[in-house]
Structure 1
Amino acid sequence: MNPILLVDDEDGLLDMLRIMLQKEGIMNIDFATTGKEALEKINSFRYSLIVLDIMLPDIDGFQICQEIRKISDVPILFLSARTSDIDKLTGLNIGGDDYITKPFNPLEVAARIKVHLRRQNLHLQSQNKRLEQYDYGDLFLSKKTGELFVKGEKITCPAKEFELLSFFCAHPNQIFAAEQLYEQIWKQSTGLNDRNTVMVHILRLRKRIEEDVKKPKIIVNIRNLGYKFIPPKMNDL
């Protein structure tokens, strides 16, 4: 699962939410204490959900939500001391998915976050069937936008490596010989250097997506047969 982002200028509140969420099994958590910091992170990382305070020291949370909606449909949960109906309606009308007022019950916040994450996972599974994109939790690839994210972080990927990874994503858990991969990606009949070319590109890919290149878990060698793409397991919420 990609990380969730908690945006609030109260360090104590952030720490309390972190402890509660980790007790609920949500371990991948990022933080921002200003609107500027939040927008910088959102432009650089892919998040599963954002918890957003409205009264931040520099940029209003409503404005941040509107900026996020220009580039992402990530679930946004407002967490604010502003309790009027107008504020709640404003937050939901500009793109928020939920609105919780302070003071709050941390257990309720954790429960609502888990509900939204479940819905997001179901939505992504449905979306993946319609679009040329693949969401495997820690690894997300979109052929439409040419983007690759690993653990939420945007990764630069040259064209041939991207094509090779796209092919793997479209054929998970299947074994392909180097010669087959060469014909699929380079669109040429196999030659003397085809195996070498594939090996070099797979090594480069592993450096971008694997935690340990020496012990790959995503693109693995199957002895005497070829390579197999094993998708990272998604966090079942």
Structure 2
Amino acid sequence: MAESTILMVDDEAEITQLMSIYFNNEGFKLLKALNGLEALEILRNHPVDLIVLDWMMPEMDGLQACMKIRETNSIPIIMLSAKSQDIDKISGLSIGADDYLTKPFNPLELIARIKSQLRRVNQFNTPPAGANEIHIENVTINIASHTVTVDREEVKLAPREFALLQMLAVNRGMVLSMDRIYEEVWNEPFMQSKNSVMVHIRKLREKIERNPREPQIIKTVWGIGYKIENDPKPRGE
């Protein structure tokens, strides 16, 4: 984690300058961009472990940049915004952000959220022994390469979407409550964050289900949470 590279995209130089002090203290390498277009150019030329992305910027704003990044990249994204309404947070999560922090923010909280995202990515990139691939109907989850294919075509999942799918797949047949999902995937206390879980489940279904409105893989257990059914027969039998 000490060698992680953070790309901070914000047109407010004071915020970037302040955070550079905290990033330096944590041993992070910091790359800076003033807008979404600069961020995309940096991503084409430099390896980045996490993006801190402001919503309101000139040239290309954070929402546009996030959607563009998600076309090809599953890197963790933490969105910053002065917009504090629930609908704004849901919008940010819906288009691909993994976390959302309202301005003004505590720099130490942002650092904690960055560490949480990096820790989660490292955790779910480490495959359990003997379980490099999980097959569920027409979906294949490769734990080692952190990839998912549907009908043999690779689909791009955000890190949190992959972590969520992996958690459900590893615990097939078990109903996982929203609070357990949130605490394990988000790596923080639940605190009534149902919307975050529901948004990510919906996005995940849109990518892996043949008919997201009638999901056959990720089942809702009303009032409790979600599950993936046990396969009646092991693959290949």
TM-score, structure 1 as length reference: 0.52
Contact 1:80 1:100 in 2 (8 A): yes
Report the Cα distance in structure 1 between the residues aligned to 2:111 and 2:68, rounded to whole angstroms.
25
Contact 2:56 2:62 in 1 (8 A): yes
Report the Cα distance in structure 1 between the residues aligned to 2:116 and 2:144, rounded to whole angstroms.
26
Contact 2:36 2:64 in 1 (8 A): no
Q: Using the TM superposition, give the Cα deviation of residue 48 of structure 1 relative to its aligned residue in structure 2, in angstroms.
A: 0.8
Which residue in the other structure is 1:18 paired with? Answer: 20
| Long gaps (5+) in structure 2 | 133-141, 147-237
Which residue in the other structure is 1:200 paired with? Answer: none
Which residue in the other structure is 1:104 paired with? Answer: 105
Report the Cα distance in structure 1 between the residues aligned to 2:93 and 2:14, rounded to whole angstroms.
26
- Taking only aligned residues, the RMSD between alpha carbons, in angstroms, comes to 2.4
Report the Cα distance in structure 1 between the residues aligned to 2:10 and 2:80, rounded to whole angstroms.
9
The higher radius of gyration belongs to: 1
Which residue in the other structure is 1:180 paired with? Answer: none
Identity level (%): 44
Q: Helix, strand or coil for the counterpart of 2:58?
A: coil
Q: Helix, strand or coil for the counterpart of 1:29?
A: strand
Which residue in the other structure is 2:56 paired with? Answer: 55
Q: Deviations over 1:83-111 (max 9, x none)?
A: 12111100001111110011111111111
Contact 1:91 1:99 in 2 (8 A): yes
Contact 1:54 1:61 in 2 (8 A): yes
Q: Using the TM superposition, give the Cα deviation of residue 2 of structure 1 relative to its aligned residue in structure 2, in angstroms.
A: 4.3
- Please state if 1:34 is matched with 2:71: no
Contact 1:2 1:46 in 2 (8 A): no
Q: Using the TM superposition, give the Cα deviation of residue 8 of structure 1 relative to its aligned residue in structure 2, in angstroms.
A: 0.2
- Please state if 1:65 is matched with 2:66: yes
Report the Cα distance in structure 1 between the residues aligned to 2:29 and 2:23, rounded to whole angstroms.
9
The correspondence of residues 133-148 of structure 1 with structure 2, limited to 5 A, is none
Which has the bigger relative contact order, CA under 8 A and spacing at least 6? 1
Out of 7, 15, 34, the residue aligned to residue 5 of structure 1 is 7
Report the number of matched residues: 134
The correspondence of residues 77-156 of structure 1 with structure 2, limited to 5 A, is 77-126=78-127, 130=142
Q: Using the TM superposition, give the Cα deviation of residue 44 of structure 1 relative to its aligned residue in structure 2, in angstroms.
A: 2.1
Report the Cα distance in structure 2 between the residues aligned to 1:64 and 1:5, rounded to whole angstroms.
13
Whichever residue aligns with residue 20 of structure 1, its letter is Y
Which residue in the other structure is 2:44 paired with? Answer: 43
